């Protein structure tokens, strides 16, 4: 008897609005995220701790709705590149039959959007499509626990530069950011992010 087919999974709606300046795109929610109906619900994913450090907010004490409200008020939007897929487990390598989200449709409703940032290698596979949707498009190291080759500090450095570049961090608008430093760090990201861009990301 053939093995059962993977269940068709549906993703989460976007968390973005008129204040969104940076749209952060993951790949597809993990099982934990789908069960909770919350972005990055896996307890070992570093997404929320990174945002807490970047915004200097105690996000981990807030409930999910309050977390979303806090980061969206600071110009961040959250969504995924895939609207639906088939997958066993939570690893990106197991994603099949993926259906892209309507990113152009969302972007058209974000009047202040400056940039799109991809959280990890699987999401960044869509960069050829998303690069035309905003003035800037960035590839960031994954916050997934599967991305163990990047320490929290290294991820924070890379994420901080992008958030500062687009003015999401208080007191650090684009005029105060060293563009050469951004270029240097982004080059390191491109050379290192391949360590986990082979589909072994996931568990968000």
Nearest in space to 137 (alpha carbons), one of 111, 154, 172, 162: 162
pLDDT in tens, 168-195: 996 444 444 444 444 454 444 444 443 3
pLDDT in tens, 1-21: 555 556 788 999 999 999 999
Question: Could you tell me whether strands 115-119 and 96-100 are parallel, antiparallel, or unpaired per DSSP bridges?
Answer: unpaired
Q: Which domains does the chain have, with CATH numbers?
A: 18-196 (3.40.470.10)
The C-alpha atoms of residue 180 and residue 193 are separated, in whole angstroms, by 20
Per-residue pLDDT, averaged over 40-68, amounts to 97
The gap between the terminal CA atoms of the chain, to the nearest Å, is 33
In this structure, of 79-88, 118-127, 188-197, the range with the lowest mean pLDDT score is 188-197
If one counts every other C-beta atom within 10 angstroms of the C-beta of residue 193, the result is 22
Would you call 188 exposed, middle or buried from its count of C-beta atoms within 10 A (0-12, 13-18, 19+)? middle
pLDDT in tens, 25-52: 999 998 899 999 999 999 999 999 999 9
Per-residue pLDDT, averaged over 87-105, amounts to 81
In this structure, of 73-77, 138-142, 145-149, 168-172, the range with the lowest mean pLDDT score is 168-172
% of the chain beyond a pLDDT of 70: 77
Per-residue pLDDT at 196: 36
Higher per-residue pLDDT: 20 or 202: 20
- The model's confidence at residue 91, banded by pLDDT at 50, 70 and 90, is low
Model confidence at 95: pLDDT above 60: yes
Per-residue pLDDT at 55: 97
What is the reported pTM?
0.83
């Amino acid at each position: 008897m053939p093995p059962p087919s993977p269940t068709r999974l549906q993703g989460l709606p976007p968390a973005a609005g008129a204040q969104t300046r940076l749209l952060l795109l993951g790949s597809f929610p993990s099982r934990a995220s789908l069960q909770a109906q919350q972005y990055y619900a896996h307890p070992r994913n570093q997404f929320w701790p990174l945002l807490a450090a970047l915004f200097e907010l105690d996000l981990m004490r807030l409930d999910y709705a309050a977390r979303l409200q806090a980061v969206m008020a600071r110009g961040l939007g959250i969504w995924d590149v895939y609207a639906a897929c088939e997958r066993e487990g939570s690893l990106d390598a197991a994603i099949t039959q993926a259906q892209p989200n309507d990113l152009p449709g969302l972007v058209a409703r974000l009047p202040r959007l400056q940039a799109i940032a991809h959280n990890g290698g699987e999401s960044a596979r869509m960069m050829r499509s998303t690069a035309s949707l905003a003035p800037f498009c960035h590839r960031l190291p994954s916050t997934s626990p599967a991305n163990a080759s990047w320490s929290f500090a290294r991820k924070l450095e890379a994420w901080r530069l992008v958030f500062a570049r687009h003015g999401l961090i208080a007191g650090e608008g684009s005029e105060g950011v060293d563009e050469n430093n951004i270029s240097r760090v982004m080059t390191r990201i491109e050379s290192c992010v391949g360590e986990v861009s082979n589909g072994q990301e996931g568990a968000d």
